[in-house]
Amino acid sequence: MKFQLTISPEQEESVHVTLKKKNDLACEIEKLCLEYSGTDAIPAYQNDQVQMLRFDDVTCLMVLDGKTYAIDKTGQQHLVKMRLYEVEQLVPSYFVRINKSAIANQRQIAKFKASFSGAVDVVFKCGYVDYVSRRCFSEIKRRYQL
């Protein structure tokens, strides 16, 4: 198999793969290309410091007291100076809305926990827990094929 990467600021970005037959590698390349939104990080503020927080490191984006926060893999909160709907347009396709004020990284979800009352909570790998609204749970079920 040959690999060629051409970086040219003048040309439109495209990916061209030639294979004899479709395989797992081709599916993974296609998935990566379709998920890429043009950016892979978001500016996040913590203790008067600004850092670029990669979407892979974000567990959840949520609104708390009118401000948008990103929770990272360690469970720390970072202020994001954008509205949640603006951030939702930037995040890759593996992010899913879990309620009116939160968007979750599917790759960081550890499990879903259901209660007797019918409510569903999502538990993240970092330990953070948030609720899943009934309206959003149908989309999550579709994605997970539950």
pLDDT for 109-146, tens place per residue?
999 998 888 889 999 999 999 999 988 888 888 887 75
**Which one is predicted more confidently, 118 or 38?**
118
Average pLDDT, the chain: 86
Q: Is residue 113 part of a domain?
A: yes
CATH of the domain at 55: 2.40.50.1020
Q: For the chain, what is the domain count?
A: 1
Task: Tell which residue, 116, 117, 125, 68, has the closest CA to residue 91.
Answer: 68
Query: In the block, which residue shows the tokens 């990284």?
Result: 105
Q: Is residue 110 part of a domain?
A: yes
Task: Give the mean model confidence (pLDDT) for residues 49-67.
Answer: 93
Domain around 77: 41-144
pLDDT for 98-113, tens place per residue?
999 999 999 999 999 9
**Which one is predicted more confidently, 101 or 15?**
101
